[in-house]
Chains A and B, each alone.
Chain A
Amino acid sequence: MRKTHQRRVIIGFLAAPVLLYTVFVASPYVQAFYIALTDWRGLSAEIGLIGLGNFTELFGDPVFWQALRNNLLLLVTLPIVTIGVGLFLAFMLNAAGGPRSGEIRGVRGAKFYRVVYFFPYVLSIAIIGVLWKNIYNPINGLLNGALRAVGLEEVQPSWLGDERLAFWAVLAVLVWNGIGFYVVLFTAGIKAIPASLLEAAVLDGASRTQVFFRITIPLIWENIRTAAVYLGIAALDAFAVVQIMTGGGPNDSTQVGSFYLYQNAFSYGRFGYASAMGVVLFVVTLALSAFTLRATRKERIEF
Chain B
Amino acid sequence: MNDRFPPSRPGRRSVLAMLALTPVAGALAGCATGGSRQSPAAAPTGSAQAGNPFGVASDAPLEVVVFDGGYGQEYIKVPLDLYRKKHAAAKITQSATQQIQQSLQPRFVAGNPPDVVNNSGSNAIDYGALVGDKALLSLAPLLTAPSWSDPAVTVGDTLRPGVVQVGTHDGQFVVLNYSYGAYGAWYSTSLFEEKGWTYPQTWDDYLGLCDKMATAGIAPWTYPGQFPYYMFWWLASLIYKAAGPEVIDKINNLAPDAWTDDRAVAALRAFEAIPANGWVLKGSSGLNHTDAQMQFLNGKAGFVPGGSWLENEMGDSVPKGFDMAICRAPSIGKDDVKPFGSLCAKAGEPYVIPRSAANTAGGLEFLRAMLSTEGAENFIAKAGTLSSNRDAKPPKDAKHGLTSIDAALKEAGDNVFGITVDTRDSRLWKDIANLMGRFMNGDIKADQLAKQAQSLTDKARG
Query: Which residues in A have some Cβ–Cβ distance to B below 8 Å?
Result: 24-25, 28-32, 34-35, 40-47, 75-76, 79-80, 136-140, 144, 156, 158-163, 222, 224-226, 228-229, 232-233, 236-237, 246-247, 249-252, 258, 261-262, 265-269, 271, 274-275, 278-279, 281-282, 285-286, 288-289, 291-293, 295-300
Pick from B1, B129, B225, B285: contact of A41, CB below 8 A.
Answer: B129
The 22 listed contacts between A and B (C-beta, < 8 Å) are: A29-B25, A32-B28, A41-B128, A41-B132, A42-B129, A43-B125, A44-B109, A45-B35, A45-B37, A138-B282, A158-B282, A226-B13, A229-B13, A246-B226, A247-B226, A249-B437, A250-B225, A269-B126, A278-B22, A278-B24, A292-B3, A293-B14
Tell me how far the C-beta of B196 lies from the nearest C-beta in chain A, rounded to whole angstroms.
28
Nearest-Cβ distance from residue B113 to partner chain A, whole angstroms: 10
Given contacts A45-B37, A286-B18, contact A80 B285 (CB under 8 A): no
With A44-B135, A226-B13 known as contacts, the answer to whether A249 contacts B434 (CB < 8 A) is: yes
Contact B14 A144 (CB under 8 A): no
Contacts of A251 in B (CB 8 A): 434, 437-438
A290 closest partner in B (C-beta): B14
For B4, the closest partner residue in chain A by CB is A228
A282 and B125 contact, CB distance less than 8 A: no
Expressed in whole angstroms, the minimum distance between the Cβ of A77 and any Cβ of chain B is 10
Is the beta-carbon distance between B291 and A140 smaller than 8 angstroms? Answer: yes
| B26 CB–A CB distance under 8 Å | yes
Q: Is the CB of B5 within 8 A of A296?
A: yes
- Is the CB–CB distance between A138 and B17 below 8 Å? no
CA distance A152 to B266 in the complex (A): 39
A153 to chain B: closest CB distance in Å? 10
A268-B287 contact given A29-B26, A232-B5, A250-B434, CB 8 Å threshold: no
Residues of A within 8 A of B128 (CB): 41, 268-269
Q: With an 8 A cutoff between CB atoms, is B42 at the interface?
A: no
When distances are taken between beta carbons in the complex, the residues of chain A under 8 Å from B123 are 266
Q: Which of A261, A262, A292 has most chain B Cβ within 10 Å?
A: A292
The yes or no answer to B6 lying at the interface (CB within 8 A) is: yes
Q: Which residues of chain B have a CB within 8 Å of any CB of chain A?
A: 1-8, 10, 13-14, 17-18, 20-30, 32-33, 35-37, 101-102, 105, 108-109, 111, 123, 125-126, 128-130, 132-135, 225-226, 228, 281-287, 291, 295, 426-427, 430, 434, 437-438, 441, 443
> Which chain A residues lie closer than 8 Å to B108 at the CB level?
43-44
List of B residues within 8 angstroms of A298 by Cβ: 8
Name the A residues within 8 Å of B225 (CB-CB). 158, 161, 250
Contact residue among B1, B130, B287, B438 (Cβ-Cβ distance under 8 Å from A43): B130
Given A225-B6, A296-B6: A139 and B291 interface contact (C-beta under 8 Å): yes
Chain A's nearest CB lies how many Å from the CB of B426? 6
Instruction: Give which listed residue, A42, A232, A247, A268, contacts B427 with CB less than 8 A.
Output: A268
Check B133–A44 contact: CB distance below 8 A: yes
Nearest residue (CB) in B for A230 is B17
Contact between chains at B28 and A274 (CB < 8 Å): yes
Would you give the shortest CB distance from A66 to chain B, in whole angstroms? Answer: 12
- A250–B437 CB distance below 8 A: yes
Once the chains are docked, how many angstroms separate the CA of A200 from the CA of B281? Answer: 62
Across the interface, B286 reaches (CB within 8 A) one of A40, A136, A275, A295, namely: A136
Q: Please, how many angstroms separate the alpha-carbon atoms of A251 and B432 in the complex?
A: 10
Instruction: Taking A44-B134, A247-B226 as given, write out 14 further A-B residue pairs in contact, using a Cβ cutoff of 8 Å, ordered by the A residue number.
Output: A28-B27, A31-B30, A45-B36, A45-B111, A158-B283, A161-B284, A225-B5, A228-B5, A229-B14, A262-B24, A267-B426, A279-B25, A292-B1, A296-B7
CA of A46 to CA of B30 in the docked complex: distance in angstroms? 15
Would you call B286 and A293 a contact (CB within 8 A)? no
**Chain B residue at minimum C-beta to C-beta distance from A276:** B25
Q: Chain A residues near B18 (CB, 8 Å)?
A: 285-286, 289
**Taking CB as reference atom, which chain A residue is nearest B110?**
A45
The residues of B that contact A24 with a CB separation of less than 8 Å are 30
Measured in the bound complex, the distance between the Cα atoms of B33 and A32 in whole Å is 10
Given A159-B286, A161-B225, residue A233 in contact with residue B29 (CB < 8 A) = no
Query: Closest CB-CB distance, A273 to chain B, in whole Å?
Result: 10
Which single member of B5, B22, B111, B284 contacts A158 (CB below 8 Å)?
B284
Chain B contacts for A282, CB-based, 8 A: 22, 25
Given A41-B133, A139-B283, A271-B32; A296-B4 close (CB under 8 Å)? yes
Closest to B111 in A: A45
- Which chain B residue lies CB-closest to A297? B10
In the bound complex, what is the Cα–Cα distance between A262 and B13 (angstroms)? Answer: 26
Residue in A162, A232, A246, A299 whose beta carbon sits within 8 Å of that of B17 in the complex: A232
Q: Count chain A CB atoms within 10 A of each CB in B18, B281, B285 and give the residue with the most.
A: B285
Looking at the assembled complex, report how far the CB atom of A188 sits from the nearest CB atom of chain B, in whole angstroms. Answer: 17
* 3 nearest A-B residue pairs (beta carbon): A161-B285, A138-B283, A269-B126
B438 nearest in chain A by CB position: A251
A285 and B295 alpha carbons, distance in the complex (Å): 44
- Which single member of A28, A43, A79, A262 contacts B135 (CB below 8 Å)? A43
Distance, CA A222 to CA B128, complexed state (A): 51
In the complex the two chains form, what is the Cα distance from A7 to B20 in whole Å? 31
- Which residues of chain B are within 8 angstroms of A288 by Cβ–Cβ distance? 1
A260 to B10 Cα, complex, angstroms? 32
In the complex where A43-B129, A47-B33 touch, is A281 in contact with B22 (Cβ < 8 A)?
Answer: yes
